[in-house]
C-alpha cells in the first residue's frame, strides 16, 4: 500500500479534521445563500423572502453550526484518552511502503496487540481511511473489519460513525445476518461478522475490491476466524507481491489486488504464535490505556460479605468424592497457610476455601456480593456481572427482582445473552435515568469489542460455558469451565475503560494464577461438516490436507467423522467431491442438515413448514425461558401448538404461522410463552432462505407460502419424512425409560423437558429423528420428531433386502442404517427396493438440473413421488401395516 513518504502526526490529523469542518460549514452557508438568491429571482407572484426571514435563517444556520461543532468537540474529547493517536507514526510505518521490505518473507500481514482500552477496534480503521483521504486516494480505500459477534459489529459501527459525525451508510456501515446498513462503495469501512466475509469470498475469493481486511479479536479462535486466517495465509503464500491467488476451474489464477493489507488485532493476542504461523509477520504493540482497576478474589469476597454457603451436598456424594476432596485439600493447603500468615481472613473464610465446593460457582454468593456493594453505597457507574449461561443469569435476575433491596425505581437490571435479539441487547448502552444504577448480567458476549461507558464495577464469575465434542461418539457437551487468562483480562478491563474501577473475581487468587493462557480453539471442540462444505465450495482441496494447515489442526477422527456424515447426507461422493446436492447445500447459509431438507422440500412441494424448521434449528430459541411457576403452562401451550403431530419441528412451524396470522402478535407471544423479536427474525430468515432458493432457480416464486411450492405442506407425514431426510442419521428408538441411539453408537439418551414428546407416553412409531444431542448432567435430545418406518426406508441409507436364504436367523424383509430391520414379504421388499432406486434417480436428476417439480403435470416422476407420499401417509395413519419393526442392537 502506498501512502507517501511523510507520516501524518496527531496534530496534523486534527488540523485536517478542523479544515474539513470549516469547509463543511462554508458549503452549508453557500448553499443557503444560493437558495436565498433563487427565491429573490422568482417572478412577481412568487413568495419572496423578507429581510426578517433572512435574519431568522442566518440565526438558525449559526445555531446549527454551533451545535455541530459542539458535538464534534465532545466526540474529540471522548477519544482523547485513546493512545492510538500518539502511535500513529508507528502504525503507519508498518502500512506504508516500508512494510514491503519488512514483509518480504510474508507480505501483507501485520499484527496489532495491546491491552484493552487502547482503541484499536474503533481507531485503526479510521487512521487508514483518513490517511488515504489526506493523500487524495480515498476512492482506493475499502476496509472490512470483522467482529466476533453481531452486537459488536453494530455497536462499533455506530460508535465510529458517531465519531465521524455521520449517519450509518455514509463512510461507515455494518452487515450481519438479517441486518445491514452498507456504507458507500469506496472510501468506506464495513464492520461485519466473519461469516459475512467468507460468504463474500465464495463469489470473490480474491477480495479484489478490498484494500484492507482487519480481523479483530482473533484471540477468541472461533471456527470461522481460524478458517479465514488459513485461507489468507494461502493467499499471501502464493503471492509475494501482495497479489491474491485463488483456485478456480481447476487452475491457479493470479489476480492483482492493489494495496491489499491484512491486519490481525486483539487485546490479548498470542503474538508469537501468530507470527510463527505467518512466517514472521511483524507485530505492532500499542500501549493500552485503562484506568486503575482494583482487584479482589474469592477469599476477599467471602471476607467482605461474611457469606456462609449452605450445606446441600448429600452424604453419598461426600463419600463418593472423598478421594478427590483429600487431593484438593493437599493442593490448597499451602495457599491456606499463606492466607493465615497475612492475618487478614477469618477462620470461617479459610474453612470454606479448604473445601472442594469453593471451586464451584455459587450464584447466591454473587447475589450477596451485589447486596454488599449496593448496601455500602455504590455511588457511581454501572455494574457488569459475568456468568456462564442463561440458567445462572435467570437465577440471579430472579434473586434481584425478588429482593426488596433492588427496587425498579433505583435499579435497572438488564440480562445480556445470545438469546436476546439485537434490539434488546442495545439497551445496555443507554445511560440510566438519574439516581438509578444499571446492573448488566451477561455471558462472555460482553467481553470484547463493545464498550459500556458507565461500567465501574465488574463481577467475574470465573466461568464460561464451553461446548466440546467427543469425536468417537459425536456427542457434544456444554458445561461451565474456568475462563482463561485472556478472558479474565478482558473482563477486568471492562471496569477501567473510562474511569477507575473495581473487579471482583469469584475464584481464588491461587486458581487465578493457574488459569490457562487461552481457551482451546473452537475448531478442536466442534463438528466440522459446515466448514468442510465451505472449503469444498471454495475449491480448497481435500478436507484433511486443508484442515491440517490450521493453526491448531483438528483431530483426524473428527475430520473423518464429519466426512462420513456428509457422505451419508449425499453431499459428498466416495472421492470426497461435492455432489450436485452437496453443491446446493454449500450455497445455502445454514447447517448441512437444514440445507438438505430444504432442497428436498422444493422437490416434494412443501417449502413453507421446512423453511420454518431450517430457520429455527441452529438459531435463537423462540421459546422464552420461563420461571418455575410458568413451566407447566408453557408445556401445555407447546402441546397445543404441536397439534398432535408428535414433532418439535412442526410445533415451531405452527408457532411461526400463528404469530404471522395473529392480529395481536404481542398477546399471542405472551399466551404461548414465545419471544416476539426472535419470531420476527425467524420470519425474516424464512424470507431470506426462500429468496436464496429462488436465486438458485430451485423455486419459481420467492414467496414462502406460494401455492405452487406448497402442494403437500399440509401433509404432516411427508413433511416429517423430509425432516427425517435432513436429520438422518440422527435416529433413536424410544424405550421404556431412555432413548437408544441408532446413529452408530449405543448411548442412552433422554428427551429434553421442553420437547413436546417428553410429556407423552404413546407414540405412533418407536422411531424418532433429532437435531442435537447434548451432554450436561445427562445426554439430552433436542428438537425431535416421531417418524414412521417408511420415512427411513425411503430417505435413509444402506438399504438392503434380506431373504431366508442369505441370513442365519431366517429374517425376511428390509433394513436401513445397518441396524434397523423391518419384516415384510419378499414381494413387498422388491417393490420397496424398486421405489427406492427410482426415488434416488428422480432426486439426482432434479438436483443436477436446477428447476422445480411441476406437480400439475401427470408425469412419470410425479406419479412415483405421489405413490411414495401415499405409502408414507397411509402407514402413519395405520391404513398400511408396516409395523413389524425389529431393532438389531
Quick: pLDDT tens for 35-60.
555 545 544 434 445 556 556 666 66
Q: In this predicted structure, what is the pLDDT of residue 29?
A: 58
CB proximity list for 136: less than 8 A, separation 6 or greater: none
Residue 3: inside a domain: no
The CATH number of residue 146's host domain is 3.40.50.300
Q: Picking from 267-271, 443-447, 458-462, which range would have the lowest pLDDT averaged per residue?
A: 267-271
Q: Do 322 and 203 share a domain, yes or no?
A: no
Dihedrals φ, ψ of 740, to 5°? -115, 120
Mean of the pLDDT values across residues 254-281? Answer: 64
Q: Do 648 and 674 share a domain, yes or no?
A: yes
Q: Picking from 224-228, 397-401, 722-726, 744-748, which range would have the lowest pLDDT averaged per residue?
A: 744-748
Q: Note down the domain range covering 531.
A: 527-578
Better pLDDT: 481 or 96: 481
Better pLDDT: 806 or 507: 507
CB atoms within 10 A of CB 876: 23
- Exposed, middle or buried by CB within 10 Å (0-12, 13-18, 19+), for 233? buried
Residue 309: inside a domain: yes
105 close to 276: Cβ distance less than 8 angstroms: no
Residue located via cell numbers 469453593: 358
The single-letter DSSP state of residue 623 is: B
Cell of 242: 501482495
Q: Do 800 and 692 share a domain, yes or no?
A: no
State how far the Cα of 671 lies from the Cα of 126, in Å rounded to an integer: 48
State how far the Cα of 138 lies from the Cα of 170, in Å rounded to an integer: 13
Domain boundary among 675, 699, 715: 715
Q: Which run of H or of E encompasses 885?
A: strand 885-887
Better pLDDT: 6 or 642: 642
DSSP reduced 3-state for 605: coil
From residue 229, alpha-carbon distances to 263, 278, 551, 677 in Å are 11, 10, 9, 34
State how far the Cα of 863 lies from the Cα of 839, in Å rounded to an integer: 11
Residue 788: inside a domain: yes
Q: Picking from 116-130, 263-277, 364-378, 763-777, which range would have the lowest pLDDT averaged per residue?
A: 263-277
Q: Do 554 and 470 share a domain, yes or no?
A: no
Closest residue by Cα to residue 851 from 702, 696, 710, 725: 696
Q: In this predicted structure, what is the pLDDT of residue 419?
A: 62
The single-letter DSSP state of residue 420 is: S
State how far the Cα of 835 lies from the Cα of 687, in Å rounded to an integer: 34
Q: In this predicted structure, what is the pLDDT of residue 469?
A: 84
Residue 441 has pLDDT above 80, yes or no: yes
- Indicate the pLDDT class of residue 257, thresholds 50, 70 and 90: very low
Cell of 234: 494461502
Q: Do 120 and 248 share a domain, yes or no?
A: yes
State how far the Cα of 214 lies from the Cα of 600, in Å rounded to an integer: 39
Mean of the pLDDT values across residues 259-283? Answer: 70
Q: Please, what is the average pLDDT of the chain?
A: 80
- Indicate the pLDDT class of residue 111, thresholds 50, 70 and 90: low
Strands 731-734 vs 475-482: parallel, antiparallel or unpaired: unpaired
Residue 352: inside a domain: yes
Q: In this predicted structure, what is the pLDDT of residue 150?
A: 84
Q: Do 280 and 327 share a domain, yes or no?
A: no
Q: Do 125 and 252 share a domain, yes or no?
A: yes
State how far the Cα of 197 lies from the Cα of 883, in Å rounded to an integer: 50
119 close to 83: Cβ distance less than 8 angstroms: yes
Residue 5: inside a domain: no
Q: In this predicted structure, what is the pLDDT of residue 857?
A: 81
Better pLDDT: 80 or 170: 170
Residue 365 has pLDDT above 60, yes or no: yes
Dihedrals φ, ψ of 638, to 5°? -65, -40
729-788 pLDDT, tens digit each = 899 888 766 677 776 666 788 898 889 998 787 888 889 999 988 888 788 999 999 998
CB atoms within 10 A of CB 839: 17
Q: Do 90 and 207 share a domain, yes or no?
A: yes
From residue 555, alpha-carbon distances to 51, 255, 547 in Å are 80, 34, 9
Domain boundary among 79, 113, 135: 79
Residue 346 has pLDDT above 90, yes or no: yes
Cα 237–chain centre separation: 30
State how far the Cα of 386 lies from the Cα of 23, in Å rounded to an integer: 47
170 close to 161: Cβ distance less than 8 angstroms: yes
State how far the Cα of 139 lies from the Cα of 132, in Å rounded to an integer: 8
Q: In this predicted structure, what is the pLDDT of residue 34?
A: 64
Residue located via cell numbers 481435500: 542
Strands 293-296 vs 501-505: parallel, antiparallel or unpaired: parallel
DSSP assignment of 282-311, as one string? -EEE-------EEEE-HHHHHHHH------
158-212 pLDDT, tens digit each = 989 988 889 999 999 999 887 889 999 999 999 999 889 988 887 777 677 888 8
**Percent of the chain residues past pLDDT 90, beyond the cut:** 37
Residue 617: inside a domain: yes
- Indicate the pLDDT class of residue 841, thresholds 50, 70 and 90: very high
Q: Picking from 252-261, 669-678, 831-840, which range would have the lowest pLDDT averaged per residue?
A: 252-261
Stated pTM of the model? 0.78
Q: Which run of H or of E encompasses 180?
A: strand 179-181
Residue 1: inside a domain: no
Residue 418 has pLDDT above 80, yes or no: no
Cell of 397: 435476575
698 close to 852: Cβ distance less than 8 angstroms: yes
Q: Do 430 and 574 share a domain, yes or no?
A: no
449 close to 155: Cβ distance less than 8 angstroms: yes
Domain boundary among 480, 496, 518: 518
Q: In this predicted structure, what is the pLDDT of residue 100?
A: 34
Task: Look at the chain and report how many structural domains it folds into.
Answer: 6
Please state whether the peptide bond connecting residue 729 to the residue before it is cis, i.e. omega within 30 degrees of 0.
yes
Residue located via cell numbers 413421488: 865
Residue 91 has pLDDT above 60, yes or no: no
Residue 248 has pLDDT above 60, yes or no: no
Better pLDDT: 29 or 187: 187
Closest residue by Cα to residue 654 from 684, 693, 682, 620: 682
Q: In this predicted structure, what is the pLDDT of residue 471?
A: 76
Residue 347: inside a domain: yes
DSSP assignment of 101-167, as one string? HHTSSSTTEEEEE--TTS-HHHHHHHHHHHHHHHTT-GGG-EEEEEESSHHHHHHHHHHHHHHTT--
Cell of 588: 445455502
Q: Do 574 and 591 share a domain, yes or no?
A: no
Mean of the pLDDT values across residues 543-561? Answer: 92
- Indicate the pLDDT class of residue 81, thresholds 50, 70 and 90: very low
Start-to-end Cα distance in the chain: 64
Residue 249 has pLDDT above 50, yes or no: no
Q: Do 739 and 695 share a domain, yes or no?
A: no
From residue 742, alpha-carbon distances to 591, 729, 739, 818, 887 in Å are 21, 8, 9, 10, 9
Helix ranges (H only) for 538-591 are 543-547, 556-569, 580-587
184 close to 171: Cβ distance less than 8 angstroms: yes
Q: Which residues pair with 740 in a beta bridge?
A: 733, 748
Q: In this predicted structure, what is the pLDDT of residue 805?
A: 65
Cα 448–chain centre separation: 14
Sheet order of strands, 800-802 included:
800-802, 813-816, 820-823, 885-887
**Percent of the chain residues past pLDDT 70, beyond the cut:** 74
Residue 828 has pLDDT above 50, yes or no: yes
Q: Do 640 and 650 share a domain, yes or no?
A: yes
State how far the Cα of 683 lies from the Cα of 614, in Å rounded to an integer: 11
Amino acid at each position: 500500500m502506498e501512502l507517501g513518504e511523510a507520516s501524518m502526526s496527531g496534530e496534523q490529523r486534527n488540523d485536517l479534521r478542523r479544515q474539513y469542518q470549516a469547509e463543511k460549514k462554508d458549503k452549508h452557508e453557500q448553499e443557503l445563500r444560493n437558495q436565498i438568491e433563487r427565491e429573490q429571482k422568482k417572478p412577481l407572484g412568487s413568495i419572496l423572502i423578507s429581510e426578517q426571514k433572512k435574519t431568522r435563517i442566518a440565526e438558525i444556520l449559526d445555531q446549527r453550526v454551533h451545535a455541530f461543532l459542539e458535538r464534534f468537540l465532545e466526540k474529540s474529547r471522548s477519544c482523547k484518552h485513546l493512545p492510538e493517536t500518539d502511535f500513529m507514526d508507528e502504525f503507519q510505518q508498518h502500512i506504508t511502503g516500508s512494510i514491503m521490505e519488512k514483509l518480504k518473507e510474508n507480505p501483507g500481514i501485520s499484527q496489532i496487540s495491546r491491552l484493552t482500552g487502547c482503541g484499536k477496534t474503533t481507531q485503526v480503521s479510521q487512521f487508514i481511511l483518513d490517511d488515504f483521504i489526506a493523500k487524495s486516494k480515498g476512492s482506493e480505500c475499502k476496509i472490512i473489519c470483522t467482529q466476533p459477534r453481531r452486537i459488536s459489529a453494530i455497536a462499533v459501527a455506530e460508535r465510529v460513525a458517531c465519531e465521524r459525525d455521520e449517519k450509518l451508510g455514509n463512510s461507515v456501515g455494518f452487515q450481519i445476518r438479517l441486518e445491514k446498513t452498507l456504507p458507500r462503495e469506496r472510501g468506506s469501512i464495513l464492520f461485519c461478522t466473519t461469516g459475512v466475509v467468507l460468504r463474500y469470498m465464495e463469489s470473490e475469493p480474491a477480495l479484489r475490491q478490498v484494500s484492507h481486511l482487519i480481523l479483530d479479536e482473533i484471540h477468541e479462535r472461533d471456527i470461522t476466524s481460524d478458517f479465514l486466517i488459513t485461507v489468507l495465509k494461502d493467499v499471501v503464500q502464493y503471492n509475494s507481491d501482495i497479489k491474491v491467488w485463488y483456485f478456480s476451474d481447476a487452475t491457479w489464477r493470479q489476480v492483482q489486488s492493489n494495496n491489499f493489507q491484512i491486519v490481525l488485532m486483539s487485546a490479548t493476542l498470542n503474538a508469537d504464535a501468530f507470527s510463527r504461523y505467518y512466517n514472521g509477520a511483524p507485530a505492532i504493540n500499542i500501549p493500552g490505556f485503562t484506568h486503575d482497576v482494583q482487584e479482589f478474589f474469592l477469599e476477599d469476597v467471602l471476607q467482605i460479605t461474611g457469606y456462609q454457603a449452605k450445606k446441600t451436598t448429600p452424604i453419598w456424594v461426600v463419600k463418593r468424592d472423598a478421594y478427590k476432596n483429600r487431593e484438593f485439600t493437599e493442593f490448597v493447603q499451602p495457599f491456606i497457610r499463606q492466607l493465615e500468615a497475612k492475618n487478614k481472613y477469618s477462620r470461617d473464610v479459610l474453612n470454606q476455601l479448604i473445601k472442594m465446593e469453593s471451586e464451584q460457582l455459587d450464584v447466591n454468593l454473587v447475589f450477596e456480593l451485589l447486596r454488599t456493594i449496593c448496601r455500602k453505597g455504590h455511588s457511581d457507574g454501572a455494574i457488569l456481572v459475568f456468568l456462564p449461561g442463561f440458567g445462572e443469569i435467570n437465577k440471579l435476575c430472579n434473586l434481584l427482582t425478588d429482593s426488596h433491596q433492588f427496587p425498579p425505581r433505583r435499579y435497572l437490571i438488564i440480562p445480556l445473552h445470545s438469546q436476546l435479539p439485537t434490539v434488546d441487547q442495545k439497551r445496555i448502552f443507554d445511560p440510566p435515568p438519574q439516581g438509578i444504577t444499571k446492573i448488566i448480567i451477561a455471558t462472555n458476549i460482553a467481553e470484547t469489542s463493545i464498550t459500556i461507558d458507565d461500567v465501574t464495577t465488574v463481577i467475574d464469575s470465573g466461568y464460561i460455558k464451553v461446548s466440546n465434542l467427543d469425536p468417537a461418539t459425536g456427542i457434544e457437551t456444554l458445561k461451565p469451565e474456568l475462563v482463561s487468562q485472556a478472558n479474565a483480562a478482558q473482563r477486568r478491563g471492562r471496569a477501567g475503560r473510562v474511569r477507575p474501577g473495581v473487579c471482583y473475581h469469584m475464584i481464588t487468587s491461587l486458581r487465578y494464577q493457574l488459569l490457562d493462557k487461552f481457551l482451546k480453539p473452537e475448531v478442536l471442540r466442534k463438528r466440522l461438516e459446515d466448514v468442510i462444505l465451505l472449503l469444498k465450495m471454495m475449491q480448497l482441496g481435500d478436507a484433511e490436507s486443508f484442515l491440517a494447515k490450521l493453526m491448531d489442526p483438528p483431530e483426524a477422527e473428527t475430520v473423518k467423522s464429519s466426512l462420513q456424515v456428509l457422505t451419508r447426507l449425499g453431499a459428498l461422493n466416495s472421492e470426497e467431491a461435492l455432489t450436485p446436492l452437496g453443491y446446493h447445500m454449500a450455497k445455502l447459509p445454514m447447517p448441512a442438515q437444514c440445507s438438505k431438507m430444504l432442497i428436498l422440500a422444493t422437490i416434494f412441494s412443501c417449502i413453507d413448514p421446512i423453511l420454518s424448521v431450517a430457520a429455527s434449528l441452529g438459531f435463537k430459541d423462540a421459546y422464552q425461558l420461563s420461571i418455575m411457576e410458568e413451566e407447566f403452562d408453557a408445556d401445555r401451550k407447546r402441546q397445543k401448538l404441536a397439534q398432535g403431530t408428535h414433532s418439535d419441528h412442526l410445533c415451531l412451524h405452527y408457532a411461526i404461522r400463528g404469530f404471522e396470522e395473529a392480529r395481536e402478535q404481542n398477546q399471542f407471544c405472551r399466551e404461548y410463552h414465545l419471544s416476539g423479536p426472535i419470531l420476527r427474525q425467524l420470519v425474516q430468515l424464512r424470507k431470506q432462505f426462500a429468496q436464496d432458493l429462488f436465486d438458485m432457480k430451485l423455486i419459481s416464486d420467492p414467496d414462502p407460502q406460494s401455492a405452487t411450492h406448497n402442494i403437500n405442506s399440509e401433509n404432516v407425514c411427508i413433511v416429517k419424512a423430509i425432516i427425517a431426510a435432513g436429520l438422518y442419521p440422527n435416529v433413536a428408538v424410544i424405550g421404556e425409560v431412555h432413548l437408544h441411539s441408532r446413529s452408530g453408537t449405543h448411548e442412552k439418551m433422554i428427551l429434553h423437558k421442553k420437547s413436546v414428546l417428553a410429556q407423552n407416553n404413546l407414540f405412533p412409531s418407536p422411531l424418532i429423528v433429532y437435531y442435537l444431542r447434548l451432554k450436561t448432567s445427562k445426554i439430552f435430545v433436542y428438537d425431535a420428531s416421531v417418524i414412521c418406518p417408511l420415512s427411513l426406508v425411503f430417505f435413509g441409507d444402506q438399504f438392503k433386502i434380506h431373504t431366508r436364504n442369505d441370513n442365519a436367523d431366517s429374517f425376511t424383509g428390509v433394513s436401513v442404517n445397518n441396524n434397523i430391520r423391518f419384516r415384510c414379504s419378499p414381494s413387498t421388499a422388491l417393490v420397496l427396493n424398486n421405489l427406492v432406486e427410482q426415488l434416488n434417480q428422480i432426486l439426482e436428476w432434479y438436483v443436477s438440473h436446477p428447476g422445480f417439480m411441476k406437480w400439475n403435470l401427470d408425469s412419470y416422476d410425479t406419479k412415483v413421488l405421489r405413490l411414495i407420499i401415499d405409502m408414507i401417509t397411509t402407514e402413519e395413519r395405520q391404513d398400511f401395516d408396516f409395523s413389524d419393526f425389529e431393532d438389531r442392537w
